Amino acid sequence: MPLPDHLHPADLADELQRLTPEEAQARLRSLPRDQAAAVVQELDDELRPRLLEGLSKKELSELVGDLPHNEAADVIGKLPKEQQTELIYKLPRDDQQEVTNLLQYPPDTAGGIMSDEFIALHADQTVEGCLKSLRPKAEEQPDRNVRLASISYLYLTDDCKRLIGIVSLRDLVFSRPDRTIREMMNPDVKAVSVNDDQEKIARLFEHYHYLALPVIEKDGRLVGIVSAKAVMGVIQDEATEDMQLMVGLSGEERAFTPWQTSIRRRLPWLCINLGTAFLAGAVVQIFEGTIARWTALAIFLPIVAGQGGNAGAQTLTVIVREMALGEMSKGDGRRALIKEAILGVCNGLAIGVLVGVVAYFWKGKAMLGLIVGVAMLLNMIAAALSGVFVPYTLRAFKVDPALASSIFVTTVTDVAGFFFFLGLAAVMLHFFPLH
Amino acid sequence: MPLPDHLHPADLADELQRLTPEEAQARLRSLPRDQAAAVVQELDDELRPRLLEGLSKKELSELVGDLPHNEAADVIGKLPKEQQTELIYKLPRDDQQEVTNLLQYPPDTAGGIMSDEFIALHADQTVEGCLKSLRPKAEEQPDRNVRLASISYLYLTDDCKRLIGIVSLRDLVFSRPDRTIREMMNPDVKAVSVNDDQEKIARLFEHYHYLALPVIEKDGRLVGIVSAKAVMGVIQDEATEDMQLMVGLSGEERAFTPWQTSIRRRLPWLCINLGTAFLAGAVVQIFEGTIARWTALAIFLPIVAGQGGNAGAQTLTVIVREMALGEMSKGDGRRALIKEAILGVCNGLAIGVLVGVVAYFWKGKAMLGLIVGVAMLLNMIAAALSGVFVPYTLRAFKVDPALASSIFVTTVTDVAGFFFFLGLAAVMLHFFPLH
């Protein structure tokens, strides 16, 4: 029977995340074993190791033994090597091999997010034989809600455990009992490889609306399934990661990540940002003499740069997101660049004229309006181009196109903006001195 | 039978999105009717209306008639009112009422994303009777892959069609044929209301790992189901929306949204950003005299402001994302504020000292180093606080906490940064003149 709603493992896990590690451990110990195992599965990746760290060896090995294999492998995989071996050795003999198998896959691959709870049948059985062999399996499953997913589809394998087809429980139930599975199975079954990246898998699910996908080894053996449940988490996490990477965060930071951890992760990017800010400062320094002759220019520095920064962020956000959703194939980059360039020119003209007119009325100098307006137009174009180039360049270097992309685009818009604006001012002042 | 992979409707839809609307219409006309309907369901919300617009009335009404009710309602809902009535009138009589019902729900609610393809049974039947009554339904479903989801669970209703329980197909299949459904159903069934927001529903799915949730009307009547399939799309869309809203995009822009549309959506936010940039410029103007006396200050303006902007973006991104994931409850705001303030002070000290030392060696003036360093520290603290306050304030005003939040935070860090830096410089120059 499922637990009553107010005791849902996911809610209990939330409760635990709000406690100190010590309090959370005490609460976990107070729960019945099956419930504790259910709660541990719901804890987020950051809290879980901190919480389990405080358990005794005996508590930990009991707990791990109560987890499904894939969750057990997740927990064990985060421990030091010698502790891993010890824990695996303490597992029931049947589970040792399975957990060891799962441990070999990196956590962000199909192998890392798959479950090994699926039902594989031999295709040369009758429908009736199948249903008979399923009955005891159905009865032994302890929690009918959580593990229901694994039985929407049944997988058909050959003698070497290679995947050869799929049949839905529904088709099985409503077919003549004497038909063989081979007759009714769908042999055109889509599968992913154990090494496939989880982001790619999430895109497949989203694109084709799968409920579950079988996972196969290089030799075609069926080794697990990835469920829509696992994929929903991946979609959330990948979106979080992209948003965070853009501004120089780790991709895994949560609001209540301990501040010591946050500092270690954020400070390096802030230092990189500082380096790029000095670059912008250096451009200003080149034109220090120009500013000395006409200090009103300093007022418009942040306006030209800030506006470019926002326009660049708009372009960048669209491109990075589209890449993450897998919708930017080869050739699309040029098309996107053209579109963004057109936008840069149009928005640049609109904002350039606006800011030029304001500058003229504010300071009463037509020349200033002209300089600000033209610099603004040029910087908006630079913003649009860098918003496309930065993520494409990152991708060409095989890093995440989101990585610190916002920092890089801002660097371009600051440096270009100051250069256009102050450079133009220097030239104009040369030909039309103020006094 | 499912279509071969290279003709999957989702892939055909992708192909169509790369064509001009005219080409795409021609391609759509060339497809068999059932395939055309499958493809139309896969088109994204932006292209679909543009593509359907060019079809004749007859073509459109045939196509809409081939769609599932919820998709038909989506298409019809985006047309002008008089065309809506005409199209509904042309639907098969059985479908008219259902589509009209679905049309009343806003698209971002449970009612808007639910499907009305579910199987509701009366609880006072035996397992055998149930399976018998299901058989014809199972056989009439044309595409076993796409609509499989709706039959993982069966819903039990009373005489007034009110939802009273749920049973899984698996439990039904493996139970004794003479048991009644009422004995074995789970009466503690979680349902959502037709008016629930889709973002809230996505969070429920993610939190509790549902595969499908029933949707009920105010009177408890079961009117539809929301599937994990629909929710995966919602999770993607909501993440895209948040990323985009932060920098002043509509939340619906794609890389190949026509540029005319993009301009209309982006320019207003660029104008707002311009307004805030002028605010920052105005602060600089206050201290124009100070800059005139010491032009080297202008070099450090973009450094102090840019660094604050990046630190603010880090805090903001964490908070906005956490809010979107539903993980910031009451009381968490204060905790987050304290954490971010600590981070602001620590990162501010580190960056402040670093930038101060660099400024000293760069310009050879200890006073400049001190001013820049202290201003940097203060601005990093302002960045941290505004990164928390801006989304909380937006939420208090009942708008999306992501809305233009990056623009607002940058305003704070620019204005505060200039004020701290130039203000401090003015005070110092007053007491310690340069010459």
- A424: domain CATH number is 1.10.357.20
Number of H helices, E strands in chain B: 20, 6
Express each pLDDT in B30-48 by its tens digit. 898 888 998 998 888 777 8
Contact (CB<8Å) A2/B186: yes
Q: Answer whether B120's CB lies under 8 Å from B114's CB.
A: no
Q: Is B187 exposed, middle or buried (0-12, 13-18, 19+ CB in 10 A)?
A: exposed
Q: Does residue A292 share a domain with residue A416?
A: yes
Strands B153-157 and B163-168 turn out to be antiparallel
Residue A67 domain flag: yes
Once rounded to an integer, what is the mean pLDDT over residues A308-336? 89
Domain boundary among B107, B132, B147: B107
Q: Does residue B264 share a domain with residue B196?
A: no
pLDDT of residue B336: 92
pLDDT confidence bin for B78, thresholds 50/70/90 = confident
pLDDT confidence bin for B1, thresholds 50/70/90 = very low
Once rounded to an integer, what is the mean pLDDT over residues A314-329? 89
Q: Please, what is the average pLDDT of chain B? A: 88
DSSP state of A4: P
Once rounded to an integer, what is the mean pLDDT over residues A99-114? 91
User: Is the pLDDT assigned to residue B417 strictly greater than 90?
Assistant: yes
User: Is the pLDDT assigned to residue A423 strictly greater than 90?
Assistant: yes
pLDDT confidence bin for A147, thresholds 50/70/90 = very low
pLDDT of residue B258: 86
Query: Considering only CB atoms, which chain B residues are within 8 Å of A300?
Result: 281
Q: Does residue A154 share a domain with residue A303?
A: no
Q: Is B3 exposed, middle or buried (0-12, 13-18, 19+ CB in 10 A)?
A: middle
Structure tokens at A279: 């670059």
pLDDT confidence bin for A357, thresholds 50/70/90 = very high
Q: A310 versus A327: which is more confidently predicted?
A: A310
Express each pLDDT in B279-331 by its tens digit. 999 999 999 999 999 999 999 999 999 999 999 999 999 999 999 888 777 77
Residue B46 domain flag: yes
Q: Answer whether B280's CB lies under 8 Å from A280's CB.
A: no
Query: What residues does B186 pair with on adjacent strands?
Result: B166
Q: Does residue B164 share a domain with residue B221?
A: yes
Q: Does residue A331 share a domain with residue A231?
A: no
pLDDT confidence bin for B148, thresholds 50/70/90 = very low
CA distance A249 to B310: 10
User: Is the pLDDT assigned to residue B139 strictly greater than 70?
Assistant: no
Q: Please, what is the average pLDDT of chain A? A: 88
CA distance B57 to chain A (A): 30
pLDDT of residue B174: 80
What's the whole-model pTM score?
0.86
Q: Does residue B156 share a domain with residue B97?
A: no
CA distance B281 to chain A (A): 5
Contact (CB<8Å) A288/B295: yes
Domain boundary among A184, A216, A246: A246
Residue A221 domain flag: yes
Residue A94 domain flag: yes
Query: Considering only CB atoms, which chain B residues are within 8 Å of A203?
Result: none
CA A171 to chain centre: 36
Nearest CB neighbour to A255, from listed B4, B10, B332: B332
CATH number at residue B215: 3.10.580.10
Q: Does residue B188 share a domain with residue B52?
A: no
| The residue type at A167 | V
Nearest CB neighbour to A243, from listed B233, B317, B418: B317
Contact (CB<8Å) A148/B271: no
Query: Considering only CB atoms, which chain B residues are within 8 Å of A319?
Result: 255
Once rounded to an integer, what is the mean pLDDT over residues A383-409? 94
CA distance A351 to A334: 25
CA distance A192 to A255: 34
Residue B115 domain flag: no
Q: Does residue B12 share a domain with residue B95?
A: yes
Residue B253 domain flag: no
Residue A253 domain flag: no
Q: Answer whether B415's CB lies under 8 Å from B378's CB.
A: no
DSSP state of A202: H
When scoring A70, A174, A203, A365 by the number of chain B Cβ atoms within 10 A, the one with the most, hence best to mutate, is A174
CATH number at residue B54: 1.25.60.10
Q: Which residue of B has its CA nearest to A228?
A: B228
User: Is the pLDDT assigned to residue B141 strictly greater than 80?
Assistant: no
Residue A254 domain flag: no
Domain boundary among B246, B279, B312: B246
Q: Does residue A353 share a domain with residue A332?
A: yes
Query: Considering only CB atoms, which chain B residues are within 8 Å of A209?
Result: 10, 146, 229, 232
* Integer angstrom CA distances of residue B257 from A265, A315, B56, B74, B252: 36, 12, 24, 20, 9
Once rounded to an integer, what is the mean pLDDT over residues B2-17? 72
Report ipTM for this prediction: 0.85
> Considering only A190-204, A336-350, B317-331, which range has the smallest mean pLDDT?
B317-331
User: Is the pLDDT assigned to residue A211 strictly greater than 60?
Assistant: yes
Contact (CB<8Å) B321/A414: no
Once rounded to an integer, what is the mean pLDDT over residues B127-146? 67
Number of H helices, E strands in chain A: 20, 6
Q: Does residue A147 share a domain with residue A77?
A: no
pLDDT of residue A408: 95
Q: Which residue of A has its CA nearest to B261?
A: A343
User: Is the pLDDT assigned to residue A119 strictly greater than 90?
Assistant: no
Domain count, chain A: 3
Q: Does residue B356 share a domain with residue B285?
A: yes
Express each pLDDT in A275-304 by its tens digit. 999 999 999 999 999 999 999 999 999 999
Q: A95 versus A413: which is more confidently predicted?
A: A413
pLDDT of residue B403: 92
Q: Does residue A195 share a domain with residue A79?
A: no
Q: Which residue range forms the structural domain that includes residue B16?
A: 5-107
Q: B41 versus B5: which is more confidently predicted?
A: B41
Contact (CB<8Å) B240/A321: yes
